[in-house]
Structure 1
Amino acid sequence: MSQKFDELINSFIDNNVGIAGNFLSASLSENLRQNIYSLQKGEQMKYAGIGNEAIAEATQKMRGDKIYWLDKKNNNVHEQKFLDRVENFIDHLNKTCYTGINDYEFHYAVYEQGSAYKKHKDQFKTDNKRKYSLICYLNNGWKPADGGELLIYQNEKIQTISPNAQKAVFFKSDEMEHEVLTANKPRMSITGWLKRS
């Protein structure tokens, strides 16, 4: 996996936004999708809140995704594999770039048809522990007409990234303003942050 880790890091160094296709294997991506379907069936996906307050309103205007936090205590083999990959990436990142990352948090994110997330940064004003954002997409056969692209704003330029399965996107949480365009069909990902306390 070090080749994929390097692809993500090197593209980040070149453009401040790292992108790696096939960061997740096809089988892991599909198994994580199936996890989301199970969570949806059990009504465990909940509308996300804004900021680090315990606020989650289904009618909020800023974001419309539903989430479920990953945790090794969930004892889900596919989540374990994903989080193991994240830990291996952090080890590689720390060894090659001396970032000092020592923690992380990730959640499933589902944008149902018609939902979006307006322009924002990922680091809280009252908490600077989030250093890097890492998004891994789980959408098979995604087409331009499906919408839901990630827009990243940088130096008057806008980078458009399609949320295709297995792809990972990596950027600094406190620097990059970004948004998710309206999804025209359900859009799935795992989104999280590499942290330094």
Structure 2
Amino acid sequence: MLLTTEFTARLPGLIDTLAEQGWVVCDDFLHADEVAALRDEAGRRLAAGAFHRAGVGRAESQSVRDEIRGDSVLWLDPQQPAPAEQVYWQRIEALQQALNRELFLGIREGEFHYAQYPVGAHYQRHLDRFRDDDARVISAVCYLNPDWCETDGGQLRLWLDTEGRAESIDIAPQAGRLLLFRSERFWHAVLPAQRERWSLTGWMRRG
């Protein structure tokens, strides 16, 4: 079973913490073998040229700006998931259903992509919700980096104050870890890393 008893038992606690503080970290959202399969899938598709450089802005105003963000991405297709991606989709969908049931968030869909940061790449401080679009409700980042050390860098810096200027925490991109936070609420940034950095990143949306 892709939905384990262990995972379903943890859902109430995750949702309670998210409701209380607006963000939550879930370690071992994916197990080591599941992370390895996803990392292999992502690496194969990167080598095949399926990734593209991530841009900033929207639609025709979007542009690649290395000084703001340095990652390359590949969007997942929920209709045709690779075998390695099925466990991720099933757990995300179960999480979305639980969030709607308990917090009435009105989530209707998820959009997610692989994100690959080369050594030294970063993403400047930003919010995930656009000013004229409130569809993004919950941001979700799942890390695919085995044996990550503190000295490797690459943390996600999450600002806890509403202005995104003062109090912050740094969350290491350890393999299997899932970070959830309110898309409209939390400023965040990706710090430069000393190793290649991988994640599955995206948003639970109202549709």
> What is the TM-score with the length of structure 2 in the denominator?
0.89
**Is 2:197 the partner of 1:191?**
no
How far the C-alpha of 1:28 sits from its partner, in A, is 1.4
| 1:179 aligned partner, one-letter code | A
**Which moves more between the two structures, 109-118 or 83-92?**
83-92
What is the 5 A alignment of 1:73-152?
73-152=79-158
Q: Could you tell me whether the CA contact under 8 Å between 1:138 and 1:165 is conserved in 2?
A: yes
What secondary structure, in the 3-state scheme, does the structure 2 residue paired with 1:135 have? Answer: strand
Distance in 2, Cα, partners of 1:142 & 1:171: 22
| 1:182 aligned partner, one-letter code | P
**Which moves more between the two structures, 105-114 or 87-96?**
87-96
Distance in 1, Cα, partners of 2:10 & 2:190: 24
Partner of 2:27: 21
How far the C-alpha of 1:74 sits from its partner, in A, is 3.5
Identity, in percent, stands at 32
How far the C-alpha of 1:144 sits from its partner, in A, is 1.0
| 1:162 aligned partner, one-letter code | A
| 2:30 aligned partner, one-letter code | L
Change in 2 beyond 3 A, CA 1:175/1:110 = same
| 1:96 aligned partner, one-letter code | E
Distance in 2, Cα, partners of 1:75 & 1:135: 18
What secondary structure, in the 3-state scheme, does the structure 1 residue paired with 2:79 have? Answer: helix
Task: Give ranges in structure 1 of 5+ residues lacking alignment.
Answer: none
Distance in 1, Cα, partners of 2:93 & 2:139: 14
* Aligned structure 1 segments of 4 or more residues deviating by more than 6 angstroms: none
Task: Give ranges in structure 2 of 5+ residues lacking alignment.
Answer: 1-6
Partner of 1:39: 45
Partner of 2:4: none
What secondary structure, in the 3-state scheme, does the structure 2 residue paired with 1:13 have? Answer: helix
Count of aligned residue pairs for this structure pair:
196
Distance in 2, Cα, partners of 1:15 & 1:99: 16
Partner of 1:62: 68
Q: Could you tell me whether the CA contact under 8 Å between 1:17 and 1:169 is conserved in 2?
A: yes
| 2:203 aligned partner, one-letter code | W
Q: Could you tell me whether the CA contact under 8 Å between 2:72 and 2:116 is conserved in 1?
A: yes
Q: Deviations over 1:1-27 (max 9, x none)?
A: 223333432332343211110111222
